[in-house]
Amino acid sequence: MTIPSTTERIAAEPVGAARDRAFDDALEVLRDRRDEFNKQHFVPPDYIALLKQAGMYRASTPAQFGGEPMDPSSFMKLVERISAVDPATGWVASFGSSLVYFSALPVATQAKIYADGPDLAYAGGLFPMQEAEKVEGGYLCSGLWQFASGCRGADILGIGLAGGPDSNGMPLTALVDPADVEIVENWDVAGMKATGSHAVRADRLFVPEEMTFVRGGVPQVDEPITRYPMLPYAAQVLAVVTLGAARGALDYVREVGSARSSITGGTAKGNRPAYKTGLAKAEADLRSARAFFYEVTDEVWELAVSGAAITDEHKALLRLGATQAAHVGRDVVLTAFDLAGTGAIYESHPLQRYLQDALVPAQHAMLQTNTFEAAGSILLGLDAGIPSFP
């Protein structure tokens, strides 16, 4: 079976000037339309098509199936740039990394999925894991799954199934056609509105067994992108959104602080000691967290490229760098909000988009405060105490 596309199978522009131009064009369109996306609570398919042209949705498709896998740092720096314009759209774009999960599928299934091209937008509403009825050839799936970020523009959806004997108790992801499920629009939130992380409902939907896999399961394709730790990468691509939000917020307060006088005609905000010190400290904190984040990413990627062993300690450092990025990035945005003063409380203020969205990633289960302790446990040779960590 091939997967029909809600955005048609848009192909990426050729690598080089054409693709760089497509990415820059997508950023310009985003500056014009980010308020639209925020109000409607989703990034629409026509904008997903622009991200496909920019190569975001073939970045984790194995080369074996026509993909052009990007090293994690290069991909995440693109997500970071998108997030500096609009963090919620950066969150949706970050799932261009998630096709790496499909490498746990049978090779024949992967070939069918990519038969019409490698540019595939995936969204997963995996929780809560639902019990499915095992029938001949597959599963009958019923239930409601939450948090399917980007589902309104996805070509293919994933739903979570409770594990059984066939998966050694490990939970499964079942891949389904968006046309076969109902999108339940329940994404009524204060931040990350444009991610469109609505719920997905199915009623006795048959999913062939070959369209199910263990998330983070053993890859059936051996390439550097499939050797890089999948679950830590999932945490990283969400954390980098906060780094982008922090950069956008700091760029704004720096621009405002450079004005020669305040709106009242008094001393310019940027010439006040607290403003100068706050901006400098936030810049240092952001750059420090960002340096650690990309340093450990590149170290582990080199191991993936060479085929060397990637240990739990390596994975724990990836998770630690991701959690640090999410928490420091959030603090930096709060500093920018503080520096901006009273005007920033208005809903229409430019910092509100960064403030509301940047609070969200550190709330995610993969980036919450307890993951600091879990990483420390692994570094000490102890049990992490969190399922699927690192």
Which structural domains are found in the chain, ordered by start?
A: 17-113 (1.10.540.10), 122-214 (2.40.110.10), 228-379 (1.20.140.10)
Element (H, E) at 222: none
Q: What residue has token string 């490229």?
A: 305
User: ∠ CA(374), CA(172), CA(130), 5° rounding?
Assistant: 95
- Residue 161 and residue 173: Cα distance in Å, rounded? 6
Q: What residue has token string 């080369």?
A: 63
pLDDT of residue 263: 58
Q: What is the CA radius of gyration of the chain?
A: 21
DSSP 274-334: HHHHHHHHHHHHHHHHHHHHHHHHHHHHHHHHHT----HHHHHHHHHHHHHHHHHHHHHHH
What spatial distance separates the first Cα and last Cα of the chain, rounded to whole Å? 34
Beta 138-148 vs 212-214: how paired, if at all? Answer: unpaired
79-88 pLDDT, tens per residue?
999 999 999 9
Residues of the chain with confidence (pLDDT) below 70? 1-8, 260-266
pLDDT of residue 362: 98
Contacts of 270 (CB under 8 A, 6+ apart): 254, 256, 257, 258, 259, 276, 279
pLDDT of residue 3: 54
Among left, alpha and beta (phi > 0; psi -120 to 50; other), residue 355 is: alpha
User: ∠ CA(284), CA(373), CA(162), 5° rounding?
Assistant: 120
pLDDT of residue 231: 95
